[in-house]
Amino acid sequence: MTNYLIKGAKPLGGDAVDILIEDGRIAAIGDSLSATGAEVVEAAGLIALPGLVDLHTHLREPGREDAETVETGSRAAALGGFTAVHAMANTDPVADTAGVVEQVWRLGQEAGLVDVVPVGAVTVGLKGERLAELGAMADSAARVRVFSDDGHCVSDPALMRRALEYVKAFDGVVAQHAEEPRLTVGAQMHEGDRSAKLGLTGWPAAAEEAIIARDVLLAEHVGARLHVCHVSTAGSVEILRWAKSRGVQVTAEVTPHHLLLTDACVEAREGVGGYDPVFKVNPPLRTDADIEALRAGLADGTIDAVGTDHAPHAVEDKESEWASARPGMLGLEQALSVVIETMVEPGRLDWAGVADRMSVRPAQIGRLAEHGRPIAPGEPANLVLVDPAVRSTVDPAALASRSRNSPYAGRDLPGRVVATFLHGAPTVLDGKAQK
From the CA atom positions of the chain, what is the Rg in Å?
21
Strands 383-393 and 25-30: what pairing?
unpaired
Stretches in the chain below the pLDDT threshold 50 = none
| pTM to 2 decimal places | 0.98
Tell me what pLDDT residue 158 has: 98
Tell me what pLDDT residue 301 has: 98
Residue type, 238: E
Query: Quick check: 148 and 174 in contact, CB under 8 A?
Result: yes
3-state secondary structure of 52: strand
Tell me what pLDDT residue 155 has: 98
Domains of the chain: 51-373 (3.20.20.140)
pLDDT tens-digit readout, 364-375: 999 999 999 999
Strands 47-50 and 17-22: what pairing?
unpaired
Q: How far apart are CA 282 and CA 331, in angstroms?
A: 14
Residue type, 377: P
Tell me what pLDDT residue 271 has: 66
Annotated catalytic residue within 150, 309, 317, 356: 309
CA distances from 310 to 68, 183, 209, 249, 254 (A): 10, 25, 23, 26, 12
Query: Is 309 a catalytic site residue?
Result: yes
Q: How far apart are CA 177 and CA 231, in angstroms?
A: 9
pLDDT tens-digit readout, 271-295: 667 899 999 999 999 999 999 999 9
Q: How far apart are CA 114 and CA 109, in angstroms?
A: 8
Backbone phi and psi for residue 106, each to the nearest 5 degrees, phi listed first: -65, -40
Give the long-range contacts of residues 427-431, CB within 8 A, separation 24 or more.
427/78, 427/83, 427/112, 427/113, 427/114, 428/78, 428/79, 428/81, 429/41, 431/79
Q: How far apart are CA 244 and CA 302, in angstroms?
A: 8
